[in-house]
Structure 1
């Protein structure tokens, strides 16, 4: 497969490069729009010139690619909600404005809040647009709000909390990819008015899912079986326990829990089988295509219209049409066409993990799977299906493994065993599940069938748990940087090209890829050997980390067994390539490089001989007269970690502000790093 021969590949690649350019350059939407107009005029002039040429040159192609590049860049900026004049961020608002909100979708709750994405209709009675993360404090007044309900609240618009520690997952950045820049935190008692809003497709889908769940419960489905039906068929993982999710991740089967291309492909085959008899009628094939596509989009609606479902349904809609109209088509072109359409609709989707991994998996299956199948052709049906499952799974993992390690820092070694056992039965599970859902809406399902299907799902969970318990085959604590990811993929591509056919240029490309990757590894080794001191943010506790190459000394008041369970330290250890960790109590004073540190704890005791201390760290809310301490020690900087009372911190901050002394609170500004 020669990618450069595919026009769809060139168009999509140039468009993606334009999106990336806009994302990282930060050029304004108005400037990019002017550039788009200029490039379009240039393309027209080049086209007119080309009409009078006997032999065409590359100028027209370059002008076309230029328009695609600028179009991708402009669309990215244009699609950012904050760039629209009607966005709430452009309004002059009070400290606590009146907000009219409409519930758009319901998210997985945490221990303290029900979570929603809410669209704003008006702010202080003026029309506005934009989405918020809505956090509703859990209480006994109301269980939850429904999609399409309209709430009138009076509350403060808050910034989404920023990352407080190095290498921590940036939830705020993730929300920005969804067009959400602020959050609202309310209790149900602060809802001044609650009404039913205009019905939307999402609202219809949510109501339908609630109805399906109610009927399934009446028919005896409960516990893990009901949870899996919701995850596998309805795209809802709100009730999925962390333990089950962790087991699926460790077994390399987490992709089964998210409705994506795998599920939609199986559902497409199911609908094609169901509507096969329609082909006997006049225009039967056309009617069948229409029915299959309509039912696929109906499935997408029920599954919540998530990005993963939309991209999969769009792709398989293209594929259904191509397959049934007997036209020659390329699965690769179909995949790229669906990707291009999705990127035009929402350029931000390019930065979604699901989008990246889904298309990498499909691309790898299309390219690598035929190569693997050439080297062994089973004679019998059973071993042929097993071999097909192995090659497809291996191809997909080659595509996504590197990206998976970059994002999640682990790799399931037994993924092929999981998929050999699970994938052949997934079609049965999904097909039977669809029949269960349809049957539950019209009649009562016999208890024998309900128990049988529930047992099938339980056996599936039990097998996943068994695989997940094979710890020696589960590799965690892995870390890759962005340059490593890029050059590893280049090396994989070069290796496959050489594997296909050995030519001089391909061998040179492979060797150059090896050299570049080695260079990146050497640079990473140099970075790993660096030193730094980190004062982490941890509520009610103090954690200092002194990194020296691959060794980390953790000074903390946490119990030594709790240190290694700390998520913030786990991420830091993994991303910093730490191989040895030791713990100690917090020193009252120490020196790091040329900086002298003084730590004042709850006792409030400090030596008067510490004159000229560079940094004073306040922890555990010491009751000290700060001004007297500043006069006595004359430090160059004050740091308060997360173990201090907020009232104390505010008072210290004001004092330092009056004295024009740098003050840093890890609870607000995040961890402090000295390198």
Structure 2
């Protein structure tokens, strides 16, 4: 089977290429429109000139693929909300009040409930765009309903970039969802307005909330109810941190996130239960319609999250192909769903989208080959062998990307999947029955207790697997260039297996050489010495990295472990293996320049050398004018341990003295060059 024989697969690949070019090269909307129109005209002319020919010329295919690339570029631009004149970021008038609509409920943190909102008006002017809403938590805070419209006098605030190297870039993550600012307020400062418009997402949330309220009246334990909410309602907010960590360590966290696995199992269950319909006239058509409707009902029940919506779309196409009388191919079906979804181009950079489609393509491509390695005769053994080959095929596809994003690999993933997946269909099917009966308030307590016990057993199995620490590989760092070459090696090995020729061996060798070259380059780059002043509120942290070792200089004990913020991200990104801590001195020699540290004691009398940098830490009570006049530093640096009032006063002084001033709280960690 050759993937390049499927036209839709080719078109999807070229669309992805166009989206990447549009995102990284910032090609203007005008030029992308002109290129699209020109290529479309050329394609139409080629078609007219060859209408009498049975086979299209090569030029037609080349122009069609170029047009697909240009459509990807155009799609990136046309979806860029900032290019719209009505976008709220283009409004220059002072803001007195903002009218917005709740679009989605996001996962809260310890201090705020979070929502994605659609901006409707600024003052009395209609605008467009989305933003982030943070509601301060207190004892009276309640969840805001989707589609509810509110008015606030709070203004927009920027979203802070990461302040330390290796930290997750939340600002870039939100920007890929077209969210460029945030509003932070408390619920009592919001005025709710009347509205009659209700969206499908709003209906989904209301159904979800109603079902959840009914489940609370039955004897489910806290952890079990949280897992039921995740499995059947798509709500993971109530899962405790230890339970979620256990599922992650066991390699079973995908079970908690309603996605393609769950929708696929629902499809198989419905296909089996509705198979008697095939005996009646037009039975296949009726069955297909029923399956599609019921799958989308399940998607609505689980909140219509992006992962559920794209999985349901994909399996809708799979359902149609399964029950049609025409020969179809799974690669085409999966590629069509990806092509449709990627008309919303930023989905390409969504981690869930990448992992789900890589898993599906890997299963479709590799599982039929893996299953032929052993043909057990016993049905039960064959059933578990099927599950194992599916799990292995999916892991081959997603493992490099998963390690790149999450920096860990659960070695017992196959065990948790072998134990849980065979019963997941029963758990989902029985769970749907529990939801229906509880919603109409006829669920027997005995049945609820039985289901509670089943979920409890699943949690206990996951807990046992997660406690096998020797099989959990964490703090793994992979650079992006390494990731690309790893996939190059995997693809070349698959190509060799499918086409065992000398040419295939040559491709594998070149891929391996490329991977080795990148690994050597990255190792040499990581071995360079580096000094970093990290940012953390109320603490001073100076780091010196040499080879695979990081030495920390600090007068506090709270950062003594490698897994604490802000060191965890940095140590993983730099592949640091050991960390030591020492008390902070007053003077350091960094790359032939002197660093003087002035702490709360306020002592800075130096006569033997001239400091290039002065670091102010722990709010020293000094006269900065006098310090600058006496020792003439080239740059003043302040970290997160200082009072804000002091920082503002020092910044004004440096501005008057025309001396560079660096604040880690605004600009992030200071990397000494």
> Which interval holds the TM-score relative to the shorter structure?
over 0.9
Q: Look up the match of 2:572.
A: 574
Conservation of the 8 A alpha-carbon contact between 2:97 and 2:155: no
Secondary structure of the equivalent of 1:218? Answer: coil
Counterpart check, 1:85 vs 2:85: yes
Q: Look up the match of 2:372.
A: 374
**Aligned pairs (5 A) from 1:647-658:** 647-658=645-656
Conservation of the 8 A alpha-carbon contact between 1:610 and 1:633: no
Conservation of the 8 A alpha-carbon contact between 2:489 and 2:511: yes
- Report the Cα distance in structure 2 between the residues aligned to 1:563 and 1:414, rounded to whole angstroms: 26
Q: Look up the match of 2:387.
A: 389
**Aligned pairs (5 A) from 1:442-453:** 442-453=440-451
**Aligned pairs (5 A) from 1:63-102:** 63-94=63-94, 96-102=95-101
Secondary structure of the equivalent of 1:526? Answer: helix
**Deviation sequence 1:335-388 (CA, Å, 0-9, x none):** 1000000001x1100000000010111111111111111110010111001111
The root-mean-square deviation of aligned C-alpha atoms, in Å, is 1.5
Change (3 A) 1:40 1:328: same
Secondary structure of the equivalent of 1:163? Answer: coil
Change (3 A) 1:190 1:197: farther
Task: Give 1:52 shift.
Answer: 6.6
Q: Look up the match of 2:521.
A: 523
Task: Give 1:77 shift.
Answer: 1.3
Conservation of the 8 A alpha-carbon contact between 2:214 and 2:441: no
- Report the Cα distance in structure 1 between the residues aligned to 2:53 and 2:371, rounded to whole angstroms: 47
- Report the Cα distance in structure 2 between the residues aligned to 1:278 and 1:268, rounded to whole angstroms: 15
**Aligned pairs (5 A) from 1:299-378:** 299-344=298-343, 346-378=344-376
Secondary structure of the equivalent of 1:75? Answer: helix
Conservation of the 8 A alpha-carbon contact between 1:102 and 1:151: yes
Q: Look up the match of 2:605.
A: 607
Say which of 636, 639, 642 aligns to 1:638.
636
**Aligned pairs (5 A) from 1:40-55:** 40-51=40-51
Counterpart check, 1:663 vs 2:654: no
Task: Give 1:38 shift.
Answer: 1.5
Conservation of the 8 A alpha-carbon contact between 2:131 and 2:182: yes
- Report the Cα distance in structure 2 between the residues aligned to 1:52 and 1:202, rounded to whole angstroms: 49
Q: Look up the match of 2:26.
A: 26
Moved more, 268-277 or 371-380: 268-277
Secondary structure of the equivalent of 2:98? Answer: strand
- Report the Cα distance in structure 1 between the residues aligned to 2:560 and 2:97, rounded to whole angstroms: 44
Secondary structure of the equivalent of 1:162? Answer: coil
Conservation of the 8 A alpha-carbon contact between 1:163 and 1:170: yes
**Deviation sequence 1:278-328 (CA, Å, 0-9, x none):** 334332221111111111112112222222111110111011111112321
**Aligned pairs (5 A) from 1:432-471:** 432-471=430-469
- Report the Cα distance in structure 1 between the residues aligned to 2:441 and 2:91, rounded to whole angstroms: 53
- Report the Cα distance in structure 2 between the residues aligned to 1:610 and 1:111, rounded to whole angstroms: 49
Secondary structure of the equivalent of 1:542? Answer: strand
Q: TM-score, normalised by structure 2?
A: 0.98
Change (3 A) 1:365 1:605: same
Conservation of the 8 A alpha-carbon contact between 1:552 and 1:578: yes
- Report the Cα distance in structure 1 between the residues aligned to 2:608 and 2:571, rounded to whole angstroms: 33
Change (3 A) 1:142 1:561: closer
Query: What is the aligned length?
Result: 673
Conservation of the 8 A alpha-carbon contact between 1:611 and 1:635: no
- Structure 2: runs of 5+ lacking an equivalent: none
- Report the Cα distance in structure 1 between the residues aligned to 2:652 and 2:6, rounded to whole angstroms: 63
Task: Give 1:332 shift.
Answer: 1.1
Task: Give 1:129 shift.
Answer: 1.0
Change (3 A) 1:182 1:560: closer
Conservation of the 8 A alpha-carbon contact between 1:153 and 1:193: no
Conservation of the 8 A alpha-carbon contact between 1:588 and 1:599: yes
- Report the Cα distance in structure 2 between the residues aligned to 1:476 and 1:505, rounded to whole angstroms: 37
**Aligned pairs (5 A) from 1:150-549:** 150-196=149-195, 198-344=197-343, 346-549=344-547
- Report the Cα distance in structure 2 between the residues aligned to 1:377 and 1:508, rounded to whole angstroms: 32
- Report the Cα distance in structure 1 between the residues aligned to 2:502 and 2:563, rounded to whole angstroms: 51
Change (3 A) 1:222 1:202: farther
Task: Give 1:560 shift.
Answer: 6.5
- Report the Cα distance in structure 2 between the residues aligned to 1:49 and 1:380, rounded to whole angstroms: 60
Secondary structure of the equivalent of 1:282? Answer: coil
Counterpart check, 1:14 vs 2:14: yes
**Deviation sequence 1:474-526 (CA, Å, 0-9, x none):** 00011101111111111111112223342011000000001101100110111
- Report the Cα distance in structure 2 between the residues aligned to 1:475 and 1:206, rounded to whole angstroms: 38
Task: Give 1:271 shift.
Answer: 2.2
- Report the Cα distance in structure 2 between the residues aligned to 1:56 and 1:364, rounded to whole angstroms: 32
- Report the Cα distance in structure 2 between the residues aligned to 1:610 and 1:406, rounded to whole angstroms: 48
Secondary structure of the equivalent of 1:639? Answer: strand
Secondary structure of the equivalent of 2:530? Answer: strand
Conservation of the 8 A alpha-carbon contact between 1:46 and 1:63: no
Change (3 A) 1:195 1:238: farther
Q: Look up the match of 2:111.
A: 112
Conservation of the 8 A alpha-carbon contact between 1:611 and 1:632: no
Secondary structure of the equivalent of 1:287? Answer: helix
Task: Give 1:578 shift.
Answer: 1.2
- Report the Cα distance in structure 1 between the residues aligned to 2:559 and 2:51, rounded to whole angstroms: 76
Conservation of the 8 A alpha-carbon contact between 1:134 and 1:183: yes
- Structure 1: runs of 5+ lacking an equivalent: none
Q: TM-score, normalised by structure 1?
A: 0.97
Change (3 A) 1:662 1:238: same
Change (3 A) 1:159 1:551: same
- Report the Cα distance in structure 2 between the residues aligned to 1:468 and 1:456, rounded to whole angstroms: 18
Change (3 A) 1:410 1:55: closer
Task: Give 1:277 shift.
Answer: 3.5
**Deviation sequence 1:416-461 (CA, Å, 0-9, x none):** 1110001001111001011111122224211111111000001100
